[in-house]
Structure 1
Amino acid sequence: MAIENITMPQLGESVTEGTIEKWLVKPGDHVNKYDPLAEVNTDKVTAEVPSSFTGTIKELKAEEGDTLSVGDLVCTIETEGAGGGEAVEEAKPAAGEEANKSPVAGSQNEMELSGTQGSAKPAAQKGAKGRYSPAVLRLAQEHEIDLNQVEGSGRDGRITRKDLQQLIDSGSIPKEGTAPAASQPASEPEAGAQGTPQPAPKSAERKEAPPAEAAPGDKEIPVTGVRRAIAANMLKSKQEAPHAWTMVEVDVTNLVQYRDSLKKEFKEREGFNLTYFAFFVKAISQALKEFPMMNSMWAGDKIIQKKDINISIAVATEDALFVPVIKNADDKSVKGIAREINELAAKVRSGKLTSDEMKGGTFTVNNTGSFGSVQSMGIINYPQAAILQVESIVKRPVILEGGMMAPRDMVNLCLSLDHRVLDGLVCGRFLARVKEILENISKENTSVY
């Protein structure tokens, strides 16, 4: 017999953690390779974690509702095969061995200085603890948590998001310069100037805002893993990307007339609707090809200009928002784009969207006009550089050339941009090109096939 580990997989591009929504197995159950073990929610997709082995479930390492970082242990499986004894030993954390290690004087490989001057800790105590996931680093930064004072519950002492959330909920947040948490051994205090623990001055302490409390008659709604992940991703986008915003209005009277003349015949022939949104996505993907800087991402010391034009579209359910991707949208016809929009939206609402269908987006187009919005500022879908909101088409009186006034179908296009990557000049020219394409759509010069 051998014990094998199942870890949290990466279920989408930029996904760093997932929440165990529901276990599909229990200890003692026999599973085959690729059988689903648990349903997991992330900010991008709801998916099943498959088994990598055939065997018997030994132990579930997380409970329903727990949030785990990518690579964290999910469960263990007992398999049949040679070398079982060695595998069992390898599956167990060598906690005793690590704890008994002592630093060798002068060895930089086995010593690390702590945050307080005059003390040192063996690097063996750190182990995987020092490899923090982006979710842990983000949460620590938001709440000013000194990670050197946190004891991790993950594999090899790794600090998990759950560890930090427990500290935040308890109000016992270790700050830099304060004494170590009570869970650390009393025999290893971090020494101050006189060799005794030195608490931070009261003036340096920052009081955390108390959480909102429900009053009688209020309804409390638990935060799901999907909602928590969406909140974290939106917060990261607003904190890291300096948002700017610009808007143009477009006369789409000819587009409305052209689409309305086709929609009945198209539905009977193709079996799905020809929406205005498909025309907008086609026009935007064409303009992205002409202005490739808009199809870029910030990458710290460089900007990555993406070759493929993959349009992310926002699809909402009653309690969550998903962003599936239309791959190589610039190579597709209006009909092809309309089909993908229809299929992806159906998969989102039926819960059948896969992680592959969420990957690779380079630019986001959001159909806010579908619920009547006429002007809005979207939050950028990190790490992309921009998001374009297509607002509601509204009939308004417009003064035409020559001074004549006539009713026209008008729509606002609202662009949010990451000002680290994009400037007003390229964004203005990009929107002007999208406007030009849309205003010249007509029966005479546009084909949906």
Structure 2
Amino acid sequence: MKTETLTMPQLGESVTEGTISMWLVKPGDTVKKYDPIAEVITDKVTAEVPSSFDGVIEKLLAEEGDTLQVGDAIVTMQVSGGSTEVAATEQEVPAVEETTSADTSMKKRYSPAVLKLSGEHGIDLEQVTGTGAGGRITRKDLLKLIESGSIPTPQATEPKPEAQAAPVAPPAEAPPAPKRPVIAPQPTETGDIEIPTAGVRQAIASNMVRAKHEAPHAWLMIEVDVTNLVEARNRHKDAFFKQEGVKLTFLPFFMKATVEGLKKHPIMNSTWAGDKIIQKKAINLSLAVATQDALFVPVVKNADELSIKGIARAIDDFGKRAQAGKLSSAEMQGGTFTVNNTGSFGSIQSAPILNFPQAAILSVESIVKRPVWVNGMFAARDMVNLCMSIDHRVLDGLVAGQFLQTVKQALESIDPNQLSLY
């Protein structure tokens, strides 16, 4: 028998960590290859992690609720094969010095995101203890420091005296780094309820903090007259449900109009990649789907190739499977622009946080009937606000405003008598 180690998998293209929400095995259990061993939560998906081998579970290396980086060890198991356990143990002792050297080298390797974040906040990376592989400093390490307010700043070093050097004036003292507010422990009173933030909520919180810290948000809103859309949808919804078995909501129409906007203004369909902007060819709409205790963002792939019927079917399918916890990690990947249906719970205005690294997110608010001045008189019209947040590094107000105008025109030009759903 030999010992094999299973590690935290990457459950999404931008996912860097996962939280063990539930162990499905215990030490001593016999498992087959592909048997699920743990349920893992990220900010994008809840998924079961399968075993990579046939064997016996030896040790669980993390507790339920622990958050680990992608590649971190999560479990060891005994599998059939040559005995390598003793040899590995014997090699551990003399390898200490070599490992230390390798770890030191890893600590010095900073990702562009870490360098950027440390530069923005004046963090001295030499004084930061990393939690990544080999002691490497991760973005999460820096965000924790920023939130705590304990930011290590670069230490001043005295210049070494040189032979026969002319007197040098002492360097000007660097201004102190701005203090970050420290979150003090909050007192509780009788009747207060403390809600732990592990699992999905902690993953969502980490992703939101990352998006707000890294992307300079700008916000826009436009008002749209959707009276014709409401009439068209109400006229066709019963026949559509009878024929397709799927409810015809307003959301597919808004997503279709969004596609028209992205086709006319392709820079809106972009992502931020550190030293460059990537304008995506495929139009893949991420759709925010909320459950009782989690938020999932499945992706409607190639939305520009779908009819209203196709989009409606995708929305219905994602909604049902999100509630059942059956969305796969693959279905959460590849999004290029996000649509958020905040109007479903009565919101009339919102400022959504970006689905990083996407450059924009559009919130569809509640449709409200109200008096509007039309052709010299007041008329009752169905009105809706479309609210959008953009990454100002990628997009400017001009193109964002033009995009919203295109979406508005697509919605207001709907003719109930010539509506194509297929």
| Aligned partner (choices 399, 402, 420) of residue 426 of structure 1 | 399
Give the CA deviation at 1:131: 5.3
The separation in 2 between residues aligned to 1:239 and 1:167, in whole angstroms, is 13
Establish whether residue 257 from structure 1 lines up as the match of residue 231 from structure 2: yes
For structure 2, list consecutive stretches of 5 or more residues without a partner in the other structure: 161-175
Q: For residue 79 of structure 1, what is the amino acid of its counterpart?
A: V
Q: Is 1:360 paired with 2:313?
A: no
1:150-178 residue CA offsets vs partner (Å, 9 max, x unmatched): 66677655668999999999x99683568
Who is 1:415 aligned against? 388
Structure 2 counterpart SS, 1:410: strand
Residues 15-54 of structure 1 correspond to what in structure 2 (within 5 A)? 15-54=15-54
Change (3 A) 1:257 1:71: same
Query: Aligned letter for 2:254?
Result: F
Q: Decide whether the 8 Å contact of 2:113 with 2:274 is kept in 1.
A: no
CA distance, structure 2, for counterparts of residue 25 and residue 135 of structure 1: 36
Counterparts in 2 of 1:205 and 1:385: CA distance versus 1, 3 Å: closer
For residues 150 and 86 of structure 2, the distance between their equivalents in structure 1, rounded to whole angstroms, comes to 37
Task: State the shift of 1:249 in Å.
Answer: 0.9
- Residue 375 of structure 1 and its aligned partner are, at CA, apart by 1.3
Cross-structure match for 2:59 = 59
Q: Find the residue that maps to 1:224 and give its secondary structure.
A: coil
User: Does residue 346 of structure 1 match 2:316?
Assistant: no
Distance in 2 of aligned mates of 1:335 and 1:421: 32
RMSD over aligned Cα, in angstroms? 3.4
TM-score, length-scaled by structure 2: 0.86
Structure 1 residue aligned with 2:70: 70
- Cα separation, partners in 2 of 1:18 and 1:247, compared to 1, 3 Å: same
Q: Which residue of 1 aligns with 2:354?
A: 380
What is aligned with 2:152?
175
Are residues 50 and 138 of structure 1, via their aligned partners in 2, closer, same or farther at CA, if it must alter by over 3 Å?
Answer: farther
1:42-71 C-alpha deviation (Å, 9 max, x unpaired)? 111111111111111122111111110001
Letter in 1 for 2:104: K
Contact 1:68–1:160 (8 Å) recurs in 2? no
The one-letter code sitting in structure 2 at the alignment partner of 1:3 is: T
Deviation at 1:96, TM superposition (A): 3.1
- Per-residue Cα deviation, 1:185-244 (whole angstroms, up to 9, x for no partner): xxxxx9999xxxxxxxxx889683413232222110011221111111111111111111
The gaps in structure 1 that reach 5 residues or longer are 103-121, 179-189, 194-202
Residue 444 (structure 1) shift:
3.0
Structure 1 residue 370 and structure 2 residue 347: aligned? no
Q: Deviations over 1:4-35 (max 9, x none)?
A: 11110011121110011111111111111111
Matches within 5 A, 1:263-278: 263-278=237-252
Is the alpha carbon distance of 1:314 and 1:93 closer, same or farther for their aligned partners in structure 2, counting shifts above 3 Å? farther
Q: Distance in 2 between matches of 1:245 and 1:274?
A: 30
CA distance in 2 between partners of 1:434 and 1:155 (Å): 46
Encode CA deviations 1:112-151: one digit per residue, 9 max, x unaligned: xxxxxxxxxx734525445568998899899987664566
CA contact (8 A) 2:240 2:248 kept: yes
Whether the 8 Å contact between 1:2 and 1:88 is mirrored in structure 2 is no
2:265 to 275, 288, 291: 291
158-167 or 148-157, larger mean C-alpha shift: 158-167
Q: Is the 8 A contact 1:19 1:66 kept in 2?
A: yes
CA shift in 2, pair 1:424/1:136, >3 Å: closer
1:410 deviates by: 0.8
Alignment CA distance shift 1:167-1:303 (3 Å): closer
The answer to whether the Cα contact below 8 Å between 2:122 and 2:177 also exists between their aligned partners in 1 is no
Give the distance between the partners of 1:439 and 1:317, measured in 2 at CA: 31
Letter of the structure 1 residue corresponding to residue 96 of structure 2: A
Question: Secondary structure in 2 aligned to 1:47?
Answer: strand
* Paired residues of 1:399 and 1:406 also in contact (CA < 8 A): yes
- The code of the aligned residue for 1:37 comes to I
Which is worse superposed, 235-244 or 159-168? 159-168
